[in-house]
Structure 1
Amino acid sequence: MTPLLALTISIAVLGGVDTYLTATVLPIPVWVTFIAWASFFACGGTSAGFVKSVASNWIGVIISSFCLLAIAAAPGSAAFAAVSVGLGSGAMILASSHRALGFPPAIVFGFASTVGTVAATGSPITDASITNPALTAAFYILVGAAFGFVSEKFADVLATRRATA
């Protein structure tokens, strides 16, 4: 089996599993895990891509959390929100200068996943419970990256198995 076909089958099967889990068991929109899954591949896949992707996504979660906390301190001020997000955007680029985080889009993916989780769940960033959107996004980013890793390994098995058969 060609590597492309093997990856197609792997992602199709696991994408269905991920969608089913997020629709039934996991309390998060499927796009959070899919964004992290895509980030895994964008960061190069394999173990190194997993670490780089999760670290970058989590930095985005942290930066967005600070921005959202600042915005919560001045509710209703579009100008303050714009300044907060502008500073956060700069912080994301500055953070990407670190070698381990050298892929700015992965940081943005984490930022967007957190902001989207706030919007989708209706939970404020100030929620002091386990359902805090930053904690939720961070956990499901890890789940999505794991789906990426598993889909890559599953594809490798499919491609190798057919090649030797």
Structure 2
Amino acid sequence: MKKTEAYTVSIGVLAVVDTWLTGTIFPVPVWVTFIAWASFFVLGGGRAGFVKSVASNLTGLVIASLTLLCIATTSGGAIAVAVLVGIGSAAMVQASRIKLLDVLPAIVWGFASTVGTTVATGKAITTAGIGNPALVAAAALVTGAVFGFVSEVVGEALQFRREHRLG
């Protein structure tokens, strides 16, 4: 099977599994798993891409969580929120100076996924326990990276490779 077809089957089947899993027994936002899945491939795939993707996405998550915690301690006025988001954005750029985190968009995807999960769940970042949106987003980000890794392994295994024999 050619690479495109192999990855079509691998990713298509695993997207079914991911969507079913997150819609039934592991209630994390499927869109966050897909973002992290894409992040895995953008960062080169393989073990290195997995590590870099998870580290970058979770760095964005931590920066978003700190930003949201700071917002929670203010009156919530638009200017205060805007300034705090600006500080969080600047922190993401500074974090990208670290070699492991040098693909800034992957950090931003973690930040955005965390904010989006907070909005989608309707739960504040200060929520205690397993329903905390940062924990939910973290679980989804790592799950997405795992799906990326598995889809790559399966996609590679499904490829037909011709052996060239000499003479």
User: Taking structure 1 as the reference length, what is the TM-score of the superposition?
Assistant: 0.95
1:163 aligns with 2:165: no
**Comparing 42-51 and 70-79, the one that deviates more:** 70-79
State the secondary structure of the residue aligned to 1:17.
helix
Name which one, 1 or 2, has greater alpha-carbon Rg.
Answer: 2
Q: What does 1:1-165 correspond to in 2, within 5 Å? A: 1-159=1-159, 162-163=160-161
The answer to whether the 8 A contact 2:28-2:139 is kept is no
How far has the Cα of 1:135 moved from its partner?
A: 1.2
> Could you say which structure has the higher helix fraction?
1
Task: Kindly report structure 1 stretches of 4+ aligned residues shifted beyond 2 Å.
Answer: 162-165
Q: Which moved more, 1:72-81 or 1:147-156?
A: 72-81
How far 1:3 moved relative to its partner? 0.9
Q: In structure 2, list runs of 5 or more residues that go unmatched.
A: none
Residue aligned with 2:161, SS:
helix
Query: Which whole-Å deviations, capped at 9, do the CAs of 1:11-59 have from their partners, x for residues lacking one?
Result: 1100111111111112122101000000000111000000000000000
Instruction: Give the AA of the match of 1:163.
Output: R
CA distance in 2, matches of 1:69, 1:3: 45
Partners of 2:107 and 2:17 in 1: how far apart?
A: 26
Alignment RMSD, CA only? 1.2
- Partners of 1:75 and 1:2 in 2: how far apart? 57
